[in-house]
Amino acid sequence: MKLFGVAVAGTMLVACASSPPMHYYTLTEAPAPSRLTIPEGQPPLRLDRVTIPTELDRSQIVRRLDSTQLQIMENDRWAAPLDETIRRILSNDLAARLPTGAVANPNEPSVGEKRQLLTVDFSEFYGDPGCTVTLRASWVVKQPDLTGNEQVTASPPGGCKGSGSIPEAMSLALGKLSDLIAAAISGPGVRRAQ
């Protein structure tokens, strides 16, 4: 019986040693083409809330295989909760596209300060097996009331090198979404700051 226990423990040890390594990823800011101008006296924008589909609200990267099938990448994980990471990166991307001071830190309370509140609801934000990411999101800015429904796609510039390329493409897609939101906030006849 002792020999059997030693054999089982040895087999488990070998099985654990051969497990593929875990990889942890995050999103990064996308370079801004330039800063836009906004109307004088406009209160700072604060990214108040981001929602993502429930199936994405997990530590593993999720990839869309077809219209009804998703693949959960067990060994490719987010370093932090995805909705919080999206909120931070989207806020930073907007801050890089709008004038300095036009975007408030989303984690600081706005005690008595007037803010434009932005909410973004993602209905889709998946990479496919070719690492092309599709992002669909609705957004609302309160005071003044602005809304948008956007769809953007992005692919990693260096091509698909496995599921680890998906976070890079997701970061680029967030940059494109930021471009669209910043242009709407800037108003008609978008102006680039000099």
DSSP the chain: -HHHHHHHHHHHHHHHHTSPPPEEE---PPPPS-PBP--TTPPPEEEEEEE--GGG-SSEEEEE-SSS-EEEEEEEEESS-HHHHHHHHHHHHHHHHS-TTSB--TTS--SS---EEEEEEEEEEEE-TT--EEEEEEEEEETTTEEEEEEEEE--TT---SGGGHHHHHHHHHHHHHHHHHHHHH-SS--B--
Dihedrals phi, psi of 144, to nearest 5 degrees: -80, 160
- Structure confidence at residue 15 (pLDDT): 52
- Structure confidence at residue 106 (pLDDT): 87
Q: Per-block average pLDDT, block size 10, for the chain (194 residues)?
A: 57 63 97 90 92 96 95 96 97 96 85 84 96 96 85 93 94 97 80 45
- Report the first-to-last Cα separation within the chain, whole angstroms: 80
- Structure confidence at residue 108 (pLDDT): 80
- Structure confidence at residue 40 (pLDDT): 84
Taking the model in full, what pTM does it have?
0.86
Rounded to whole angstroms, the Cα distance separating 54 from 83 reads: 10
Burial code (b: 16+ CB inside 10 Å, e: under 16) for 153-191 equals ebbbeeebeebebbbbbbbbbbbbbbbebbebbbeeeee
- Structure confidence at residue 189 (pLDDT): 53
